Amino acid sequence: MSDKAAKRAKFEKAWIVIRDELVDYAKLNNMPKDAVEWFHNSLEYNVPGGKLNRGLSVIDTAEIIKARPLDDDEYLKAAVLGWGVELLQAFFLVSDDLMDGSITRRGQPCWYRQPHVRTIAVNDAFMLEASIYYLLKKHFKGQPYYVDLLEIFHETTFQTELGQLIDLISAPEDHVDLSKFSLEKHSLIVIYKTSFYSFYLPVALAMLMCGIPYTTTSTSSKPTNGVNGTSTSMPQISHPHSRVSQSIDSTLSLVSSSVPPSQSNISLSPPYITALRILIPLGEYFQIQDDFLDFSGLPSEIGKVGTDIVDNKCGWVVNTALNLTSSNPDLAPAPSSPASALSPERRAELRKVLEASYGVKPTPEEVQKAKDMRAQAEREGRDPQNEQGYLGEAEKRVKGVFEELGIREIYREYEEGVVGKLNKMIEEEVIEPGDGKEGVRREVFRSFLGKIYGRKK
């Protein structure tokens, strides 16, 4: 068994203990047998079946911070926090699937599509979220950072739900309106819907468990500005061929606003500010990479047929294409862009193709034809690249626009740029612990970046 598989197996073994604690709580509250069984089935169906990257990141981060394997008590605490993140993920996914009318999740029918479940899934989602706080109380009530755990879970949940709101009202599947799309809006959706809970939350939880203080008390009336006097705002990581940049000042303000006025000299401690500054843009990079793979990756590589185009997703690829085909001179392609070689008339034509074809569902006949073409290509030993990405003629036209605009080259330029800047931040801004200084080891961030850079699925 590989080291990765062994870590997963140990984490899954901890899930059995944690799941049984939750089911026992239902029993202690005199729930009838059928209700207890329902809760058990919901937990098993919705929580442990994914990649578990978020939950395992808590374990990995805690071990990096402590620079040693965790003892049994430490491992259980880290596992509870890790499964807390997975419960939060399950809460989001059950809810999202119901809102989106999704069909499958993790290779099986969505929970709400079970004939006996349907809209009961709404209550099941609430119970998945509530389970987090029962576990925190049971395992951390006596810890000095217990309230910090509660606050960070609550804040992250709210931030993610804000991102989901923007996503839902910007790109409903049944109504395509590309005028609502923009790279700025895409960044906002990604940061709030993905980055906070997928990247910052697991690391922050491990930091809390390892005794790194969440807040600091300033001796002056002004809140702590940042690490070594640096600004707490997001680094300017720009997207090629756009002028998009982001700031997390609002996030730091949100943290500050939770402190009572009488304690206004309390602010987020520097290690957490550093974690935010690195992990939020890292999470944005991850999602942009995911959007690109949905367009460019072969199903044999990424494990699925990309559906962002037919699902009308407000993704990085389409927003970049919309910028490149815009009549706005401020969004004109950069000289190095392949799109700069296209005439304004041609770019306008490509824009019309996007507006007519993006978000258009394939017909049943087109879906079957695409499956048949892929199967035939595989039988004949041919490269199935030309057959595999397409679910219909409309999607094929959209992908043709992306290719003509040079999206692949633009993405490669973006990836190298953002990885270079993240590596520079890790080197320059992270304070290693020691000599009485509170900090987080650079390896925490290098580990995350190493898992993402150049991935194919």
Backbone φ and ψ for 303, nearest 5 degrees, come out as 80, 10
Indicate if 20 belongs to the active site. no
Question: How far apart are the C-alpha atoms of 426 and 420, rounded to whole Å?
Answer: 10
Q: What is the DSSP string of 247-289?
A: --HHHHHHHHHTS-GGGTTEEE-HHHHHHHHHHHHHHHHHHHH
Catalytic residue among 291, 294, 295, 313: 291
Which residue of the set 97, 290, 294, 308 is catalytic?
A: 290
Catalytic-role residue among 97, 124, 148, 167: 167
Contact 288, 316 (CB under 8 A): yes
Q: What is the dihedral of CA 143, 147, 152, 153, to 10 degrees?
A: 90
Is 124 one of the annotated active-site residues of the chain? Answer: no
Q: Confirm whether 91 is a catalytic residue.
A: yes
Choosing from 286, 295, 402, 448, which is the catalytic residue? 286
Q: Which residues contact 354 (CB under 8 A, 6 or more apart)?
A: 178, 318, 321, 322, 325, 398, 401
At 360, phi and psi to the nearest 5? -85, 125
**Is 193 an active-site residue?**
yes
Q: Which of 8, 96, 396, 408 is catalytic?
A: 96
CB-CB contact of 400 with 350 (8 Å) = no
| Cα 55 to Cα 88: distance, rounded to the nearest angstrom | 10
| Catalytic residue chosen out of the listed positions 193, 351, 399, 441 | 193
Q: Is 249 a catalytic residue?
A: no
The whole-angstrom separation of Cα 29 and Cα 322 is 55
Per the annotation, the verdict on 97 as an active-site residue is no
Catalytic residue among 54, 105, 347, 399: 105
Query: Which entry of 7, 8, 100, 442 is annotated as an active-site residue?
Result: 100
Catalytic residue among 11, 91, 92, 140: 91
Residue 175 CB burial class (10 angstroms; 0-12, 13-18, ≥19): exposed
Asked about 291 being catalytic, the answer comes back as yes
**Catalytic-role residue among 10, 13, 27, 51:** 51
- Is 51 one of the annotated active-site residues of the chain? yes
Q: What is the DSSP letter of 431?
A: P
* Active site members: 51, 91, 96, 100, 105, 167, 193, 286, 290-291
